[in-house]
Amino acid sequence: MTKIREIFGADKNIYRSIEKVVTFGNATELNLKNEISEYVVTDRLKDNFDKILDALHHGMGEKSTEVGIWVSGFYGSGKSSFAKYLGYGLQKDYTVDGQLFLDRLSNRINSIPTSQLFKRIVENYDPAVVLLDCATEQIKGGTLPPILELLIAKVNQLAGYSTDGQLANLEQMLQKDGKLDTFINEIQTEHNEDWHEIKMHDQLKAKGIASTLAANFYPKIWRDDKSFKTTKVDDMRTDKQKIEELLSTIRKITGKENIIFVVDEVGQYISAKESLILSLQGTLENLKDIGGGKAWLLATAQQTLTEDNPNSRLNSDKLYKLKDRFPIKAEIEASDIKEICTQRILGKSPTSSDQLKQLYKAHGEKLRHYTKLEKCERTMYSKDDLDEQLFTNLYPFLPQHFEIIISLLGRLAKITGGVGLRSAIKVIQDVLTAKLSSEDKALAEFDLGKLATAYHIYDVLKADIRKSYSHIVGAVDKIAALYGESSEHAQVAKSIAVLQLLDDFYLSTKNVAVLMHPNATSDSVIEKVTAIVDELKNTPGCTLNEIDGELRFMTDAIINIEIEKNKILPTSSEIRKVYEDIIKDIFSPVPQARLLNTKTVRTGINLNQNGKISKLLEPNEEIQTDVIISNAVEYSQLVIDLIRNSTDSSSSSKIFLIGKIEKNIDDNIMEIVKNEAIYSTRNKYNDKEITDYLNSQKQEASRLKELVTRVIVQAFEKGEFVFRGSNKPVTSYGNKFRDCTNSKLSEVANLVYDKYIQAPINIGGSDAEKLLNFPNLKVLPSSLNHFDLIKGDGSIELDKESLKSIREFIIKEDQVEGRKLLEHFDAAPYGWSKDTTRFLISAMFIASDVKLRISGEDIKVVGPKAIEALKNVNGFSKIAISAFQANEKPSAEMVSLSIQRLGQLTGKVIAPLPDKIAEAVRHYFPEFQTKYSSVKTKLQYLGLPGQDKAQEVQDGIAEILKGEGSDAAFRLGKPVSDLFTNLIWIAEVQKGFDNGIEESFIEANDLKKSISELPDSGLLKDLKENAQNDFDIVHQITNNTNFVSKISDLKEANSNIKNLCSDYSQKLLSAENENITAEISQIKSAEDWSRLKEDQQKEIATRLEGLKIENQQGLEGIKNILKYNYTISNNLKEVREQITEYTKIKPVIIIEPVVVPDPPVPNPNPEPTIIEKSKVTKSLSAFSKTISSQSELNLLIEELQNIKEELDAGNIIEITW
């Protein structure tokens, strides 16, 4: 019989050495030679090479700023080898065993265009390539420095500097200053150490020696060895400066302008820390800005980027933003692993291929069926359907094995960081060739037909699984110890264990059997696996559990939790709560029925247990159902008791449902309580396995509830309904329990809501408002004429049963709140919708059958307030409704007189209907209110009568507008209507004001005031006496409320008074000027006049002539003459005083000494020169000493300015006043 190892090609030695994983660190010539000789380049890999090479070629040539390359792939997919070989291939002179590495790589790529593109880049741009493995660096260092620091350390190493940043900076400073050789020699001399040796292999010693010497070489920077240890020169540089120095160092040591950084496992390294993400983002930006398209960064990351580290979920948004900064992306497909494995290790010889094809033809259909996974259709595990080609290429593996291995490696890498893990191809080789504990020999040594299984994969990865999932491995080890390492029980346990690591894999018993399928010729092992799984679940000490159909190994802590669960003692309230939850589930949604196919009726559900009633569902429904569960012994007596109790009035809307239970469900109820109680402790645990177990307890509780629910439903089906003294078997209403409850409710609803038929329509919410707003009910459309309430003549049919019921209730209540009314007719026996009741009330309101009380006002007619209140339930609930009394309706005479008076007031024809009268009042009276609002104020200002009437108009309008004008016909239709009379009067007053009568009253008031203030003597006394008759007329007019009609008499009286004032102003003017003339004559005839000089006489004569009063007219003229009289008297007095002064004054010469120096010869005692000055007298007697206006002051100032000229002339001025 052919062995599996014999089917592979002659060049496929499956036992040859294959590295566990390709790393950047394994870079010896021999290693590179072996690696590249094994490298398989798939079409997808070639496309990724082309994409990156194209970007590099164009980018370096055009100095592109898009210098970021992101290579991603699942763990073990080959992304590291891809990046590694790309990096070495771009190094111009890098040879392996005497042959250019690029030539070896080109042979593996087997694409002339790709190879030529490699060579063009190398020849034209010759880049320096720096390879960095973050995973290795992470192991070497205790902390996670930024990627930039790792690159600097790497370049320092290449340049011969220390990898420690502090020491490397010191070396660079020493070299720059020409002191490095001296530094090295001193170390050799004083410490007998080779600096190059200790800086690479003993950095602690190197730092100690350097700290001593650094202070000697740079005392201004480091005062002593302690300061060197605490001061970081690196901190003084910005990242931009670091990158500039980094690029400069590389160019210096390589002599190359273009640089490519290839950094492996970036995603795993930076994902957990936001600072590392931001730092790499800044590094890439600086490379763009500083490199000028000559510095590139290629980074690799696992494809499940945000899951590389448990903490990375916190930074997922930042990781994706960082990834977006790398515009050139290459994805290494996991599916390539099948092709790579086929070419590297699973390739078959032609003869063997034929054997496998024959095997598939014989058993392929059966094998496809038995190895098809369930509930994995949308996962990677069912991506490829098994066919002859796949079977031949992949044997002894199946397609899903590769997906499982890739997913497992990714899962383990998330936790371990990939340290120590092998590649996918290495796992394949180990499954084939290793002597595994589940078998007595290697898989390759079995006869043809044997298949790889999940437990083989477990055996290979057991050590890796133990690092992160020790409880799973521990659980398997217990089973292996109990049944044997290679037993079927151990194989099942191993298969479950390895598949349990896959979060998206549906770990059912069937899928375990699929992945344990032993041979291509075998029948399904599902029955055997199922039996073993059931046995393991019940094996003491085994933590295998099934949660939601999926198998799981739990931790040992689960056993302790089970102990805690068994200690729980359910209380009566907890047990009752379980019953309540089950009843809720049974009756959700609650039973319902239809009344006349227009109203849905539901029933509330209450649990009556041991005499205690719990309201569970719909407690506000009119019809309630009390549920009672009884055992068979007590059942009959309970029915008798309920028949009697159901006749009580308090139970008139209550259905009793009695269930006869025949199975003991107490234990199940207790277990449900325990399961739910232990589940409630889940927040105490963070362990996923414990959480999964607790979830399984919740699921078990749900399963038991379903079981108990079925028992209780069966009890109800064997029970009876009791209602109003009558009992019937539940099953008499139907075959299904829910149908029975609905049918019973329908029967009861017709009895409870026996008056629903009076208004059996659910009227639309807006129909009431539409009805109220409809202008002419005679033409009301049928869609609004519900229940045919509106007759053909537009009147309301008030004899409808529904309206009678409403009227009876309103009369009984006298005045009822809208909310209460809606609730009353919403409840039994009516059950009308609130919108229906509201519509009916609206119709009654239109018919004046009811009135509304809104905000303290009685509303009796349709208007905005009534419509607003009736248009929705919220508004309706805030009002009150009462019946319309006969004495509240206006008589026909009132209506007739009202419309007549409204016609006078508005000029419009109003229909003889109360609501139309109210509508007219609502329309026009607010305008009247506004129009006449200022009349009272004007009357007050003018001192006219009627101020009270003006206020009565405002108050009357406000009052008539109350209640939407409901009382308008009453107020305007009375034989004597003060409001109407006042409105007629105020309209005349307003018209008068509009025509300007206000000016006449103002004039009359001004005349009265001004004349009363005149002196009560002489001519002015005569004026007052002669004007009195006209003032009496004015008084009569201004004290009569009908003053508007007397406006002509008022104007005539005003004219008479003004004429009198004109006559008396002339008489007063003549008398005053005669007095002035007499005074002037007396002054000139006095003795002192003759003693005046001619110029003085002329001056005074001019002043006296100016005292005469010129033309003055009317009342203002009289006022002016009286004002001038006082001024003239003062001026005459001043003239006399001035004359007296003139006759006393003699000319005076004042000699003032003025010292004038002798110009020719300075004389210490010069004789003074005497200059005489004249004294000039200036009189201001023409000006009053009392200034009463600004113009008088300006004249005085002007005169003083003129006098000032005398001072300029050298004279002394004497002013007389």
Q: What is the DSSP string of 202-247?
A: -HHHHHHHHHHHHHHH-TTT-SSHHHHHH--GGGGS-HHHHHHHHH
Tell me which residue of 120, 43, 118, 60 sits closest to 85, measured CA to CA: 118
Helices (H), 723-849: 737-752, 767-773, 801-813, 818-826, 834-846
Provide the number of structural domains found in the chain. Answer: 6
pTM of the model: 0.51
**Residue 154, SS3 per DSSP:** helix
For residue 592, the 8-state DSSP code is: E
How many helices and strands, by DSSP H and E, does the chain display? Answer: 51, 23
Domain co-membership, 791 together with 854: yes
Q: With beta carbons less than 8 A apart as the criterion, state whether 73 and 331 touch.
A: yes
Domain co-membership, 319 together with 380: no
Can you give the pLDDT at residue 781?
93
Q: Report whether the peptide linkage leading into residue 396 is cis, meaning its omega lies within 30 degrees of zero.
A: yes
Measured in whole angstroms, the distance separating CA 527 from the mean position of its chain's CA atoms is 56
**629 assigned to some structural domain:** yes
Among 238, 272, 298, give the residue marking a domain's end: 238
Helices (H), 662-778: 666-679, 688-717, 737-752, 767-773
For residue 626, the 8-state DSSP code is: E
Locate tokens 């609002």: which residue? Answer: 933
Q: With beta carbons less than 8 A apart as the criterion, state whether 627 and 636 touch.
A: no
Locate tokens 């087997």: which residue? Answer: 110
Domain co-membership, 318 together with 380: no
For residue 745, the tally of other CB atoms under 10 A from its CB is: 24
Q: What CA–CA distance (Å, rounded) separates 840 from 786?
A: 9
Radius of gyration over alpha carbons of the chain, in Å? 59
Q: With beta carbons less than 8 A apart as the criterion, state whether 499 and 454 touch.
A: yes
Q: What is the DSSP secondary-structure string of 521-555?
A: TPPP-HHHHHHHHHHHHTSTT--EEEETTEEEEPP
For residue 1136, the tally of other CB atoms under 10 A from its CB is: 17
Can you give the pLDDT at residue 1042?
86
For residue 382, the 8-state DSSP code is: G
Can you give the pLDDT at residue 1177?
63
Kindly state the tokens that stand for 159: 């340049």
**Residue 438, SS3 per DSSP:** coil
Q: What CA–CA distance (Å, rounded) separates 510 from 472?
A: 20
Task: Write the CATH number for 78.
Answer: 3.40.50.300
Domain co-membership, 686 together with 781: no
Read off the amino acid at residue 1164. Answer: P
Domain co-membership, 640 together with 738: yes
Q: With beta carbons less than 8 A apart as the criterion, state whether 671 and 699 touch.
A: no
Domain co-membership, 661 together with 809: no
Read off the amino acid at residue 1075. Answer: N
913: left (phi over 0), alpha (psi -120 to 50) or beta: beta
Q: What CA–CA distance (Å, rounded) separates 637 from 633?
A: 9
Q: What CA–CA distance (Å, rounded) separates 84 from 32?
A: 10
**396-to-348, 425, 462, 518, 694 alpha-carbon distances in Å:** 11, 14, 21, 10, 39
**627-to-83, 407, 668, 720, 771 alpha-carbon distances in Å:** 73, 54, 20, 11, 46
Among 861, 888, 915, give the residue marking a domain's end: 888
**107-to-57, 102, 111, 1127 alpha-carbon distances in Å:** 21, 9, 8, 132
Tell me which residue of 37, 56, 27, 32 sits closest to 114, measured CA to CA: 56
Q: What CA–CA distance (Å, rounded) separates 982 from 1114?
A: 40
Can you give the pLDDT at residue 1171?
46
**1021 assigned to some structural domain:** no
Can you give the pLDDT at residue 311?
47
704: left (phi over 0), alpha (psi -120 to 50) or beta: alpha
**234 assigned to some structural domain:** yes
Can you give the pLDDT at residue 1148?
47
Domain co-membership, 726 together with 769: no
Classify strands 544-547 and 328-332 as parallel, antiparallel or unpaired: unpaired
Locate tokens 């309230």: which residue? Answer: 573
Kindly state the tokens that stand for 685: 């645990």
**Residue 38, SS3 per DSSP:** helix
Domain coverage including residue 219: 162-238
Can you give the pLDDT at residue 783?
92
Among 888, 915, 940, give the residue marking a domain's end: 888
Which residues does 993 contact at the CB level (< 8 Å), separation at least 6? 935, 938
Kindly state the tokens that stand for 588: 């959700």
Beta strands in 424-523 (DSSP E): none
**Residue 462, SS3 per DSSP:** helix
Which residues does 302 contact at the CB level (< 8 Å), separation at least 6? 72, 73, 74, 75, 265, 267, 268, 308, 410, 413, 414
Q: What CA–CA distance (Å, rounded) separates 7 from 346?
A: 9
Q: What CA–CA distance (Å, rounded) separates 647 from 723?
A: 8
Q: What is the mean pLDDT of each run of 10 residues along the chain (1217 residues)?
A: 86 80 80 86 91 92 89 82 92 90 91 92 94 71 79 87 83 88 88 86 85 86 80 70 91 93 87 85 92 92 55 56 86 78 85 92 94 87 87 92 86 65 84 92 93 95 88 92 94 95 91 95 95 90 83 80 86 93 95 94 94 93 95 92 93 95 89 92 80 84 91 95 95 94 95 95 93 88 93 87 94 92 94 95 88 88 89 93 78 83 86 79 88 88 87 86 77 84 87 86 87 83 85 86 85 87 84 83 84 85 82 83 80 86 63 48 51 57 62 70 66 70
Domain co-membership, 144 together with 214: no
Domain co-membership, 305 together with 363: no
Q: Is 207 exposed, middle or buried (0-12, 13-18, 19+ CB in 10 A)?
A: buried
Domain co-membership, 280 together with 218: no
**Residue 934, SS3 per DSSP:** coil
Tell me which residue of 944, 927, 924, 926 sits closest to 935, measured CA to CA: 944
Q: What CA–CA distance (Å, rounded) separates 339 from 346?
A: 9
**1212 assigned to some structural domain:** yes
**835 assigned to some structural domain:** yes
Kindly state the tokens that stand for 130: 């720096």
Domain co-membership, 598 together with 657: yes
Classify strands 623-631 and 726-729 as parallel, antiparallel or unpaired: unpaired
**1109 assigned to some structural domain:** no
Domain co-membership, 208 together with 315: no
**1092 assigned to some structural domain:** no
Can you give the pLDDT at residue 58?
92
Tell me which residue of 203, 224, 201 sits closest to 212, measured CA to CA: 224
Kindly state the tokens that stand for 1085: 């005839």
**370 assigned to some structural domain:** yes
Q: What CA–CA distance (Å, rounded) separates 987 from 1197?
A: 59
Helices (H), 371-453: 388-394, 399-416, 424-433
Classify strands 295-302 and 259-264 as parallel, antiparallel or unpaired: parallel
Kindly state the tokens that stand for 805: 């019921």
Locate tokens 């010129």: which residue? Answer: 1110
Q: What CA–CA distance (Å, rounded) separates 494 from 515?
A: 11
Q: With beta carbons less than 8 A apart as the criterion, state whether 536 and 542 touch.
A: yes
